[in-house]
Structure 1
Amino acid sequence: MSRNSLESFEEAHYDEYEYYNLAEYSAHNGGKGRSKKERGRNTNQHCPAGHERKIMEKLYNSELKKKRTRSRS
């Protein structure tokens, strides 16, 4: 797609608020260069299974500690 066709599409279908959300902000680093829509879409999502990552990390670390204590003794 050419640049002109994208611009005409934006003019035809976007209103002033969508232009506002598409603007690039260099001063606000909290969004890491993403638009408001992208930030809202990519937030932390609820995991119905709970804190899987934390549990797996604890199990992994406990196994490492067991291996370390066995090798030292």
Structure 2
Amino acid sequence: MEAEREKTSVEPVVKIEEWLFLILIAMLPIINFIVFGYFCFNRRLNANKRNFSIAVLIYLVIIVLLASLTGMLS
């Protein structure tokens, strides 16, 4: 049990300014795919930011698929 506790590392807290920047990037079309794609594969980045980037990319892919399906059906 002690060995498991030693293996886990605590990531530093992500500041509010960093979250605001990430949310701003998420609102920019095309740039968001590039930036969040880079963040997803950057191992040196904070794990919280990396997980947020993965979640945003999943949502973006779903939105693009739904928008393209809607465009084709109408």
Question: Which TM-score band applies after superposition, normalised by the shorter structure?
Answer: 0.3 to 0.5
Tell me which structure has the larger Cα radius of gyration: 1
Question: Higher helix fraction: Structure 1 or Structure 2?
Answer: 2
* TM-score, structure 2 as length reference: 0.36
